[in-house]
Structure 1
Amino acid sequence: MKKIILILNFLIILCFKTLFAQREEIDSLNYKLTQAFINTKIPGFTVVITNRKGIVYEKSWGFADNYKRISYTTETVENIGSVSKTFIAVALMKAIELGYFTLETNINDILPFKVINPNFPNIPITIKQLSTHTSSIIDNDSVYHKSYKFTITDSTNQKAYSILRENGYTGGLRDTSLETFLQNYLNIKGEIYNSRNFYKSKPGERYNYSNIASALAAYLIEIKAGISFANFTKKYILHPLKMYNSGWYLSDVNMKKHALPYLDLDSSLPFYSLTTYPDGGLITSAQELSKYEIEMINSLNGNSKILSDSSVKLMFSPAFYPNTSPENLNTSTRTKGIFWNLYTDGFIGHDGDDPGVSTNILFNKNCGIIFMTNMYIEDRSKFITPLKEYANKIAQ
């Protein structure tokens, strides 16, 4: 009996020590994030840490609407920028499972119009090249920035909106459907086609990050599925993960929970959607995105709800190694999976940037990190570094 009591006492003491240590780590993380918030001067932000079972840490600072003093919370929704591309990755894997194509499929075997790099007309572009940013398709910003569709409200700061317009975000494209934009931009007969929409390197030879190439990958799924990419992701990703308050259009979400995007602390931008919406237009909250991240963590551990183990392995396998990497890709800190970044510190993830938006998603087999803020900030290391430092410990 005494032995049992001693063991129980030991376990109780060990439990209290663990809880106390974790509390210290949370307090330290809170302090570092608070300091980052003060020093960076952003309107508001939220962070979430997850493990395989759920959210283990969540905290928010500042405001989703500075003027109305509406707090930014984990339920606040906003565009997540290029983190959206990871949903193209998952959708591609599901499309492959459904037998639509393979990563090596020539895109012209699927498209109703031809896409050819005019500098190398006999070299095909493959789906894998789209998903690893080696397709030779370039974002011509003088055109691409016009594809944003802004919604002006009483909250919009006109000076901030004027600055956007001065930087090329003018809208004004005649047809803003995904299919028509891609055809007009990429096909030689298109109204906004230009040979400068393609790099002077062979497809597969050079890394060149391309939003338009990413959207093209999503459009290939549309063609084979016979439904929009938005509906495809609802069917195979969002709804299976119970992400019912997320979507690709402003009409899909509760606008009362939508953060105002900010140019700076005092200047709010208009809400917007994207013609090439799959490349950066998903609107969600940290709370809902955590469901997706938990699914990715469990996928790494062989317990995916939405993909087969072989699809997960393919999606997260390195496309390049230091001795086989394409031009312009520095593999010292990361390589590429299918759209996902595979970092040398063991995390997998993606960042997102757009007017009034900066986001990150990161995870490994044990933990995950989500960061969302309603202002573009170029350097997020003051937030991401401490999150990486404490995530594994807090997630235990």
Structure 2
Amino acid sequence: MKKLFSLVVISFIVTSCSTTKSLHSREFVQTQQELTDKLTQISKTASFNGFGVALVNDKEVLYQNGFGISNIKTSAKYTENTVQNIASVSKTVIGLAVLKAQELGKLNLDDTVSKYLSFNVFNPKFPEVPITIRHLVTHTSSIVDTEEYLTRNVVLRDTVNLANNLNIDISPTKFNPPSTKIPLKDFLKYLLDTGGEWYSKEAFSKKKPGSTYEYSNVGTSLAALVLEKAVGTTYGKFTTQYILRPLKMNSSGWSFDAIDFSNYSPTYQDKQTSYPYYSLIGYPDGGLLTTSSDMSKYTLELIKGYYGNGTLLSEQSYREYFTPQLTAENFINRSSSECSDEYNIGITMGFGSTGNFGHTGGDPGMFSVIWFFRDKRMGRYFIVNTDWDSKSSGKDQKAIYDLLDEYYMKLDSLSKATK
């Protein structure tokens, strides 16, 4: 949210909520400014160059903003309109899209993927057990990320300093030249079809499809490809039509061409060294480009959907989206952390051990998380544009979270008082 001026007119401002316009008290605005001031102080010494946040209750956006530096070469500030890739938080969109397609009668969660694909995908250890869409969106398909997937998925935007950039260590992934970019369908066929150029039986685990949770980037991208075949258009066009545009996420998209690149933030190896610009061939599993402002709208829609008031899906579809799909027997090493998004899984929506839910994401030079607290009716979004520093980033994150939690209670109370 842009810095607010201490004028009398701020007593009646319009919030950034995409669906409603609410007038707030002067005390509400002053409380927002207090939070801005305190987060600004953290940004001055933080281990990451820039970060964005958003805070919602189940009725409206309470706060959104950006802090620090977006571009160290131009000294551009990181604002709520700064564009970044959000990595695996993008997977939450896949679940919404699949359920929207199911509402439209184009597919069913329990359909086999072979019904829609022009190539064969099956676990060679269990060839008689079909893989379903539900398996893909709950990470139980038995499809796993191979070295071929990891080392071919990330593609540089241009050839500037190409030789040097190709040698940057981003293990276990690697940068590839722009000439290696291929369509999603070809990428997945090469990896998963028995006749595929990069096919390996190691792309499938020793577990039967539907039996065991194994986080799979390539599996969730396959769900997006299945959706494309079912609805007859690209994943990008479908999600733009049914998710991004209805929420007025007008600064968001799935490619550099779909966003205002002048607002795009480089990502950083450290506070002095930027990574080259890159994108993902398997873009549905981690390639949404968006802003903190747009993510505030998205976060608000999800929490509304959880409480039966969403606009993108029916109440029944949202119930499916947020219903934990697995039981203890589906896990081998089950995380018991309340902050982990892998204790259970909805339809691409992760759950922690206490029942709070959300998703995390990480790619070269960035980290993101969207998280919801049921008892508080609170949604929180956080993203940084710099690699995680194991010594200090966790401390900075905690300080930011503590402030967001503290000011959520204040803003939520003041918000309800003006209704």
Describe how 1:179-218 pairs up with structure 2 within 5 A: 179-218=185-224
2:350 to 331, 341, 353: 341
- 1:295·1:305 contact (CA, 8 Å) conserved in 2? yes
- 2:148·2:198 contact (CA, 8 Å) conserved in 1? no
- Identity between Structure 1 and Structure 2 (%): 34
Describe how 1:1-396 pairs up with structure 2 within 5 A: 27=34, 31=38, 34-35=41-42, 37=43, 40-152=46-158, 162-164=167-169, 168-171=173-176, 174=180, 176-321=182-327, 323-331=328-336, 333=338, 334-364=343-373, 366-377=377-388, 380=394, 381-382=397-398, 383-384=400-401, 386-388=403-405, 390-396=407-413
- Distance (whole Å) between structure 2 residues aligned to residue 227 and residue 28 of structure 1: 43
Q: 1:192 to 1:158 in 2, by over 3 A?
A: closer
Secondary structure class of the residue paired with 2:69: strand
- 1:81·1:354 contact (CA, 8 Å) conserved in 2? yes
- Distance (whole Å) between structure 1 residues aligned to residue 110 and residue 117 of structure 2: 15
Secondary structure class of the residue paired with 2:215: coil
Give 2:363's aligned amino acid: D
Give 2:238's aligned amino acid: F
- 1:43·1:63 contact (CA, 8 Å) conserved in 2? yes
- For this pair of structures, how many residues does the alignment match? 376
> Could you list the per-position Cα deviations for residues 49-104 of structure 1 after superposition, in whole angstroms to 9, with x for gaps in the alignment?
12234332234321000121110011000101001000001001101111222222
Q: 1:32 to 1:239 in 2, by over 3 A?
A: closer
TM-score by length of 2: 0.82
Q: 1:384 to 1:126 in 2, by over 3 A?
A: farther
TM-score by length of 1: 0.86
How far off its partner does 1:174 sit? 4.9
Secondary structure class of the residue paired with 1:267: coil
- Distance (whole Å) between structure 2 residues aligned to residue 167 and residue 89 of structure 1: 26
- 1:348·1:362 contact (CA, 8 Å) conserved in 2? yes
- Distance (whole Å) between structure 2 residues aligned to residue 200 and residue 65 of structure 1: 45
Q: 1:288 to 1:168 in 2, by over 3 A?
A: closer
- The structure with the larger Rg is 1
How far off its partner does 1:324 sit? 3.8
1:6 aligned residue: none
- Distance (whole Å) between structure 2 residues aligned to residue 354 and residue 278 of structure 1: 14
Give 1:394's aligned amino acid: L
- Distance (whole Å) between structure 2 residues aligned to residue 112 and residue 181 of structure 1: 13
> Could you list the per-position Cα deviations for residues 331-387 of structure 1 after superposition, in whole angstroms to 9, with x for gaps in the alignment?
553321111112344532111100122111122463221111112326655244553
- Identify the range of structure 1 (203-212 vs 328-337) with the bigger mean alpha-carbon deviation: 328-337
Q: 1:327 to 1:285 in 2, by over 3 A?
A: same
- 2:54·2:381 contact (CA, 8 Å) conserved in 1? yes
- Distance (whole Å) between structure 2 residues aligned to residue 77 and residue 31 of structure 1: 23
RMSD, matched Cα: 2.8
> Could you list the per-position Cα deviations for residues 183-229 of structure 1 after superposition, in whole angstroms to 9, with x for gaps in the alignment?
11001000000111111111122221111000000111100111000
- 1:207·1:329 contact (CA, 8 Å) conserved in 2? no
- Distance (whole Å) between structure 2 residues aligned to residue 393 and residue 194 of structure 1: 54
Secondary structure class of the residue paired with 2:62: strand
- Identify the range of structure 1 (247-256 vs 162-171) with the bigger mean alpha-carbon deviation: 162-171
Q: 1:393 to 1:343 in 2, by over 3 A?
A: farther
- 2:139·2:214 contact (CA, 8 Å) conserved in 1? yes
- 1:63·1:69 contact (CA, 8 Å) conserved in 2? yes
Secondary structure class of the residue paired with 1:163: coil
- Distance (whole Å) between structure 1 residues aligned to residue 183 and residue 295 of structure 2: 26
- Distance (whole Å) between structure 2 residues aligned to residue 141 and residue 105 of structure 1: 29
Q: 1:229 to 1:31 in 2, by over 3 A?
A: same
How far off its partner does 1:39 sit? 6.1
- Identify the range of structure 1 (306-315 vs 168-177) with the bigger mean alpha-carbon deviation: 168-177
